[in-house]
Chains A and B, each alone.
Chain A
């Protein structure tokens, strides 16, 4: 730390980090909270914390893993505080945790990845979840999440009442949560 008096900090350094990482961090968070308003809030939380706490003299690799750790904590906090859930995937929170998703680069080089790769991976993710569900569960989730139909439209397509469509999607998600748990563990 002999150079601490002329550390390369300041607005320039922060913006360099910000420009390089904001999209990846946002995607990382969005994939886990599923909506833009909350993803924006958590992204803002991460970078405002960076202004306050991040040691910008570190090299980019360390800075990036700091950002992901803080993001992971913010996401865990989000689910814990909003829904009183225990920490998400505690195995991912251990020391030295690094993001494992290839589209969410732990190194700057990953940012060069083709933008379509994320779409492919997401599609596979959805497919693998839906494939393990009974047909009517799969159908109701496809209509609501992939085709973005309303409950009324979904009920019409499936030839059931709206009330039953709501119950069906409720059960389908309960089953999905169990399936997802088994897969995670």
Chain B
């Protein structure tokens, strides 16, 4: 029993938080095995609290439901009402009548507003903080990391493809003035991913059969989240990767994830002027 004492002690911290109805910390989970145990414990805790009818945790707190409704309402009103001319670096915004295609007047997402530095309502800011605070910052990320904005400072939305051209499981290459990438449709969720391999900068290509972005230079594969899919960790967990003879030897930062928005059946990417 001795060798299990420390992990068992640590894991109890996870369980204590979970069973107490609080937010458990990933810090108390030390291995992939324990992660599987944590998931089982979480499902068991949920089922147990639902099974005991009337358990409060099974249904959302009404206060939470109202608060989220308010956040959604504010975000949606901002998107619906704010019609901005696209900011262009160092230049005055184009006159409203200027016919620069569909880009002149588009509705800008909440995230876009914040990134563009256009004043947003306090409620929106609070909403964004709520989202940003979703998970403890337990993983360090590089500047290339998936969650840091690719474009800092002024930029604009560029239409890259009609949504209809990117069905679930599909990917489409796009190029903007400042970077190139793929828009992918991960089961209905649209994302943009940089097409630059985070190893040595080769250009990735999409493999529809594997649903990954593959590097022609050294064979790194990135999944539709932009994370290395055939690295050693993942290799160990999944027992290999789609016909590769060996694991990718080094771990790589996630692909950059340009900010993306879908409006009126069109996919836009937030980019910058050269």
Question: Residues on A close to B: CB < 8 A?
Answer: 1, 4, 7, 9-11, 14-15, 18, 22-23, 26-27, 30-45, 47-53, 55, 65-66, 69-70, 72-73, 77-86, 88, 93, 95, 97, 116, 118-119, 122-123, 125-126, 129, 141, 144-146, 148, 150-151, 163-164, 166-167, 169-171, 173-174, 176-177, 180-181
Contacts and interface: CB of A to CB of B under 8 A. Distances in A.
Contacts of A146: 48, 51-52
Interface in B53-104: 53, 57-61, 64-65, 68-69, 71-73, 75-77, 79-80
Secondary structure type dominating chain B contacts: helix
B9 to A, nearest CB: 6
B59 A48 contact: no
B73 A11 contact: yes
B61 A36 contact: yes
B171 to A, nearest CB: 14
B139 to A, nearest CB: 7
12 contacts: A4-B265, A40-B68, A44-B130, A50-B72, A52-B110, A78-B135, A83-B32, A122-B50, A129-B44, A145-B41, A151-B16, A177-B36
B39 A85 contact: yes
Contact of B168 (A51, A85, A95): A95
Given A27-B58, A35-B42, A83-B26, A47 B73 contact: no
A82 B75 contact: no
A115 B50 CA distance: 11
Given A88-B39, A173-B40, A176-B37, 4 more contacts: A30-B57, A30-B58, A48-B131, A141-B44
B68 A35 contact: no
Contacts of B237: 85-86
Contacts, number: 236
A137 to B, nearest CB: 12
Contacts of B17: 35
Given A86-B234, A122-B47, A177-B39, A73 B189 contact: yes
A48 B71 contact: yes
A97 B187 contact: yes
A1 to B, nearest CB: 7
Interface residues of B, number: 85
B109 A52 contact: yes
Contact of A34 (B45, B61, B131): B45
**Which 3 A-B pairs give the minimum distances between C-beta atoms?**
A34-B42, A83-B35, A122-B50
B233 A84 contact: yes
B78 to A, nearest CB: 9
Given A30-B46, A31-B50, A151 B12 contact: yes
Nearest to A4: B264
B5 A167 contact: yes
B13 to A, nearest CB: 10
A45 B1 CA distance: 42
Contacts of B9: 163, 166
Contacts of B51: 119, 122-123, 125-126, 146
B38 interface: yes
B261 interface: yes
Given A26-B60, A55-B262, A170 B68 contact: no
A69 B189 contact: yes
Contact of A40 (B15, B47, B64, B109): B64
Contacts of B131: 44-45, 48
B127 interface: yes
